[in-house]
Structure 1
Amino acid sequence: MGKKILIVDDEVHIKMLLEQTLEELEDDFGVELFTASDGEEGLELIRSHRPDLVFLDIMMPRMNGYEVCRTVQGEEGLENVKIVLLTAKGQEVDRRQGLELGAVRYMTKPFDPDEILGVSKEMLGV
């Protein structure tokens, strides 16, 4: 069964940049990529597809990244989903809150595509 990555961001250009960055994993390792435009849609996809890794924006309509993180952590069967929070807010307090809610990593925007790729490979073990 192939690995799955979900990208959840309400900003279209960021979503596209992440997809372009991660396409290499699709080509080389058969990783499946999914995208969602807000937290609610992201949570639905996490429940239905059980991705191995989620790149999750914090500031989003309908349900923010922290709420998605908290919900995923509290649900049975989702404990293996690794969440990397992406945010324009680089404050230590935000980072700490994200990690306390169960995120495995906290990355600030603008991000380095090579770093995103590196983190993805590390988290997926490819």
Structure 2
Amino acid sequence: MRALIVDDSQFIRSYLRALLEVHGIVCEAAGDGAAGLDCVRRFGPYRVALIDWNMPGMSGLEMVQALRQDPALDGMKIVMVTTEAENDHIEAALHAGADEYLMKPFDEAGLIDKLQMVGVVEA
């Protein structure tokens, strides 16, 4: 299984990669929404994309909207992984097409729980 991690924080990209690779998930990473979209275009759909909200250039919300405009990507699960904790942010992300919402800070159990909720890993 392949995952795309999109976050402007190198620490978060490395942390997510370490947590996912333990579970046998192969990861690609990008530092912003535009680079994340480029990964999807070059390497095809991923099983799941973990996307931060606040990034320079293209935000995570804009990336989610762009991904959901392509019917070929309908099967790709999207989890927003962000510090944005207000209900209006959560509603906007889910309305744009995110499948789940994980708030930072998080731990391995919280991440795996969200991935189970979207059907990416088994319970």
Under a length normalisation based on structure 2, what TM-score does the superposition of the two structures give?
A: 0.90
Q: Encode CA deviations 1:19-60: one digit per residue, 9 max, x unaligned.
A: 11112122xxxx321111111010111223310101000000
What is the aligned-residue identity percentage?
A: 28
Query: What is the aligned partner in structure 1 of residue 8 from structure 2?
Result: 10
Which of the residues 13, 35, 41 maps onto 1:41?
35
Aligned equivalent of 1:100, options 88, 95, 111: 95
1:109 aligns with 2:104: yes
Off by >3 Å, runs of 4+ in structure 1:
none
Mark the CA change 1:125 to 1:20 in structure 2 (over 3 Å): closer, same or farther.
closer
> Shift of residue 114 of structure 1?
1.4
Residue 124 (1) aligns with residue 120 (2): yes
Which structure would you say has the larger RCO, counting Cα contacts within 8 Å and 6 or more residues apart?
A: 1
Using structure 1 for the length normalisation, give the TM-score: 0.88
Report how many aligned residue pairs link the two structures. Answer: 120
For residue 20 of structure 2, give the secondary structure of its aligned residue in structure 1.
helix
List runs of 5+ in structure 2 lacking aligned partners. none
The CA distance in 2 between the partners of 1:76 and 1:101, in whole Å, is 14
Per the alignment, in what secondary structure is the counterpart of residue 61 of structure 1? Answer: coil
Where does residue 22 of structure 1 map in the other structure? 20
Corresponding letter in the other structure for 1:90:
A
Distance of 1:106 and 1:118 partners within structure 2: 11
Per the TM alignment, residue 75 of structure 1 is displaced from its structure 2 partner at its CA by: 1.0
- The residue identity in structure 2 corresponding to 1:94 is H
Give unmatched runs, 5+ long, in structure 1: none
Root-mean-square deviation (CA, aligned residues, Å) is 1.3
The Cα shift of 1:118 comes to 3.0
Is 2:55 aligned against 1:60? yes
